[in-house]
C-alpha cells in the first residue's frame, strides 16, 4: 500500500506527467522565477575605474607632505617680504634746478616710537627709502641715473645726481625729473654718508599674512535593517557578499574624493549670504597659485618653448626652486613632450632602440623630465584634469592648466647653493579629542548590532575637519590658456 502519511507522495504522479513538447526548463513556474535559463554570472564584482581618486593625495604624498594638527578653524602663517623693495612714484618727478623731488607711493605703516608693542591703533607712514640711500633710476640710454637721497619727509623724497650725464647739473635734474613716472621702477643700490655724520633711521622689512580655514566634510551611507541580511550573488572586492559593505566603501572613496577636490581647487567663501553663516571653506592649490603665483598664458594645443622660458624667468625672479614638478592633463603633458620631440637637434631623440634580451626594438616618443636654463621639470599627468566626471569635464578650463610645483623646501639660488629652507605646502586637520587626524566615523540606528534610536536602519556617518596651506607662492607657477 502506498504511504499516505506526511512525506513524499509515492503514488504515480499521473496528473503531472510532462507532454512531449515541454521539458523542465520551460515549465511555467520556472519561467516566472528564473526568466528562462539561469545565466552564468561571474562571482567577483569588477571595478573598471578603480577607486576613482583624483591623484591629489598621491601627489602630496609623493612630495613628502604629511598632515599636521592645527588648533583653530582659522590658521595663519607669516611670510617675510624682500629685504629690498622697488621705489615707485605716484607721478612725474619735479625739477628743482639742483634737486629732484617725487612722491613715493610704496609706503608702509611704522609704529610711533612711543607706542607699546601691543598697540596697533596709531602709526606713522614711512616710505621704503631713506636719506643716504643710493637710488638708481632707469634712463633711456639703457643704464640708470645714480642719485643720492638727501631727504625724506613723509612720502616726499628728495634726490640729487651722484654722477653727471649731461653738460651740467641742471641738465641732469631735468632729465631725471622727466624719467620718473608712476611706472618707473627705481631701486636702492647701497648708501653713502658724509664722514662724521650720524646713523640713519631704522629700516623694517614687510611681513605678509596668509590666512586659511579648516573645512568640514561630511558623508553618510544608510541601509535599512532587512537589507543588512540580504546577500548578493556576486562577491565584493573585499570578499563580502553583502552589498552594503561595498556601499560603505564607495562612500568612503567619495568622501576622500571631495577632500581632494577642495585641496586642488576649492575657494574661500567671500559672499555675504547668510545661508553660509558658520561655514568655512579652505583655499586650494589652484586658487592660491592664480592669486599669488607666477602665471604664464599660452595657447591651448600650442605650448611652446617660449612659454617655458617665460615661466623660468619668473621663477628665477622670485627665487623659485631648481627642481620642480610639472603636472597637468594628458593634453598639456603631450604638448610638453612635443616641444622636446620636435625641437631642432632633438628630433632624432624621439626614437630609442632597445635591444635588451633580444632583437626587440622600441620607439620612445615621450620623456619624463627636461632641464632648461638650469631648472629641472619632472612632468606627469594629473588624473584629476583627465577625469570626465570632474575637472576633466567637457569645456572645463581646468583641463588646460599646467601646474609648476617646487619639489624641495629650498630656494633655487643663493649664489648657486640651495641653503634657504622654505616649506612647500601642507595638509592640516583640526585637533579634536576622539577624532583621528580630524576624521570620525560612527554608526547610528537600531538595525543589526546598533541600538541608538528606534529606526530600523543603519547610518554610517563620516566627518573630516581638514584644510590646506601653501607657502612661498612666488616659487609656484601656473600655465593658463585662459589668459593667452
Locus of grid cell 521539458: 23
> Given this model, what pLDDT does residue 374 score?
85
Side-chain-side CA neighbours of 9 within 13 Å: the count stands at: 6
Local structure of 255: helix, strand or coil? helix
Give the burial string for 238-257 (b: 16+ CB within 10 Å, else e): eeeebbbbbbbbebbeebbb
pLDDT given for residue 16 in this prediction: 46
pTM: 0.77
Q: Rounded CA gap, 327 and 305, in Å? A: 16
Q: What is the CA radius of gyration of the chain?
A: 35
pLDDT at 271: 82
Bridge-partner residues for 325, per DSSP?
378, 405
Grid coordinates of 203: 629700516
DSSP-derived secondary structure letter, 410? B
The whole-number pLDDT of residue 424 equals 84
Query: For residues 153 and 105, is the Cβ–Cβ distance under 8 A?
Result: no
From the number of C-beta atoms within 10 Å of its C-beta (0-12, 13-18, 19+), residue 290 rates as: middle
**C-alpha distances out from residue 435 to 72, 75, 194, 259, 438, Å:** 15, 19, 65, 17, 5
Give the CA-trace dihedral at 384, 385, 388, 394, to 10 degrees. Answer: 150
Which residues contact residue 473 at a Cβ distance below 8 angstroms, ignoring those fewer than 6 apart? 288, 289, 291, 292, 293
Q: Name the grid cell of 131.
A: 636719506
CA–CA dist 455, 315 (Å, integer): 59
Q: How many CB atoms lie within 10 A of CB 169?
A: 14
Q: Could you tell me where the beta strands, DSSP code E, fall in 171-274?
A: 187-191, 207-213, 215-224
3-state secondary structure (DSSP) of residue 15: helix
Q: In the structure, how many helices (H) and strands (E) does the chain have?
A: 8, 21
Task: Supply 167's cell numbers.
Answer: 653738460
**Residues with Cβ within 8 Å of residue 211, at least 6 apart in sequence:** 74, 75, 76
Q: Closest Cα partner for 463 from 448, 443, 484, 483?
A: 443
The half-sphere exposure of 339 on its side-chain side, counting CA atoms within 13 A, is 20
The helix or strand, by DSSP H or E, that contains position 324, with its residue range, turns out to be strand 323-328
Name the 3-class secondary structure at 186.
Answer: strand
Contact 460, 251 (CB under 8 A): yes
Number of residues assigned to the chain: 484
pLDDT at 362: 46
Residue 424 burial (CB count, 10 A): 22
- 223 DSSP β-pair partners: 458
What is the block-wise mean pLDDT of the chain (484 residues), using blocks of 10 residues? 50 48 52 57 66 73 79 91 87 94 79 51 69 93 90 91 88 94 92 92 81 95 90 79 86 92 91 85 93 90 90 88 88 86 59 51 60 87 86 87 81 51 83 94 93 93 94 91 72
Burial 189-219 (b: 16+ CB within 10 A, else e): eeeeeeeeeeeeeeeeeeeeebebbbbbbeb
Give the chain's largest Cα–Cα span: 143
Beta strands in 383-456 (DSSP E): 402-406, 425-430, 439-445
Phi–psi pair at 476, nearest 5 degrees: -100, 160
Amino acid at each position: 500500500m502506498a504511504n499516505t502519511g506526511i512525506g513524499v507522495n509515492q503514488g504515480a504522479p499521473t496528473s503531472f506527467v510532462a507532454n512531449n513538447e515541454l521539458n523542465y526548463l520551460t515549465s511555467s513556474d520556472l519561467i516566472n522565477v528564473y526568466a528562462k535559463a539561469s545565466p552564468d554570472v561571474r562571482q567577483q564584482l569588477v571595478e573598471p575605474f578603480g577607486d576613482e581618486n583624483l591623484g591629489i593625495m598621491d601627489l602630496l604624498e609623493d612630495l613628502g607632505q604629511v598632515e599636521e594638527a592645527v588648533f583653530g578653524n582659522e590658521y595663519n602663517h607669516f611670510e617675510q617680504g624682500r629685504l629690498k623693495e622697488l621705489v615707485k612714484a605716484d607721478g612725474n618727478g619735479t625739477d628743482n634746478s639742483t634737486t629732484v623731488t617725487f612722491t613715493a607711493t610704496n609706503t608702509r605703516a611704522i609704529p610711533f616710537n612711543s607706542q607699546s608693542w601691543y598697540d596697533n591703533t596709531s602709526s606713522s607712514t614711512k616710505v621704503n627709502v631713506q636719506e643716504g640711500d643710493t637710488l638708481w633710476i632707469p634712463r633711456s640710454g639703457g643704464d640708470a641715473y645714480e642719485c643720492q637721497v638727501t631727504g625724506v619727509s613723509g612720502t616726499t623724497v628728495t634726490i640729487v645726481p651722484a654722477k653727471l650725464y649731461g653738460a651740467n647739473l641742471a641738465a641732469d635734474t631735468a632729465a631725471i625729473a622727466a624719467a620718473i613716472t608712476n611706472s618707473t621702477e627705481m631701486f636702492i643700490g647701497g648708501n653713502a654718508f658724509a664722514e662724521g655724520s650720524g646713523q640713519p633711521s631704522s629700516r623694517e622689512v614687510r611681513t605678509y599674512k596668509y590666512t586659511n580655514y579648516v573645512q568640514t566634510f561630511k558623508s553618510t551611507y544608510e541601509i535599512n535593517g532587512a537589507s543588512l541580511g540580504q546577500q548578493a550573488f556576486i562577491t565584493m572586492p573585499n570578499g563580502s557578499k553583502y552589498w552594503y559593505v561595498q556601499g560603505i566603501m564607495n562612500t568612503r572613496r567619495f568622501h576622500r574624493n571631495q577632500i581632494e577636490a577642495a585641496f586642488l581647487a576649492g575657494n574661500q567663501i567671500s559672499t555675504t549670504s547668510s545661508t553660509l553663516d558658520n561655514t568655512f571653506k579652505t583655499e586650494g592649490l589652484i586658487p592660491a597659485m592664480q592669486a599669488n603665483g607666477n602665471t604664464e598664458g599660452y595657447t591651448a594645443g600650442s605650448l611652446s618653448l617660449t612659454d617655458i622660458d617665460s615661466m623660468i624667468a619668473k621663477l628665477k625672479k622670485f627665487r623659485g626652486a631648481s627642481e620642480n614638478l610639472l603636472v597637468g592633463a594628458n593634453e598639456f603633458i603631450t604638448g610638453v613632450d612635443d616641444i622636446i620631440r620636435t625641437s631642432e637637434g632633438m628630433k632624432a631623440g624621439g626614437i630609442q632602440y632597445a635591444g635588451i634580451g633580444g632583437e626587440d626594438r622600441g620607439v620612445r616618443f615621450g620623456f619624463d623630465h627636461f632641464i632648461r636654463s638650469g631648472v629641472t621639470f619632472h612632468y606627469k599627468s594629473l588624473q584629476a584634469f583627465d577625469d570626465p566626471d570632474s575637472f576633466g569635464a567637457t569645456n572645463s578650463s581646468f583641463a588646460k592648466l599646467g601646474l609648476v610645483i617646487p619639489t624641495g623646501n629650498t630656494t633655487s639660488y643663493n649664489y648657486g647653493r640651495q641653503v634657504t629652507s622654505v616649506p612647500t605646502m601642507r595638509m592640516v586637520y583640526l585637533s579634536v579629542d576622539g577624532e583621528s587626524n580630524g576624521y570620525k566615523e560612527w554608526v547610528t540606528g537600531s538595525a543589526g548590532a546598533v541600538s541608538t534610536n528606534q529606526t530600523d536602519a543603519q547610518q554610517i556617518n563620516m566627518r573630516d575637519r581638514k584644510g590646506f596651506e601653501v607657502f612661498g607662492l612666488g616659487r609656484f607657477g601656473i600655465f593658463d590658456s585662459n589668459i593667452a
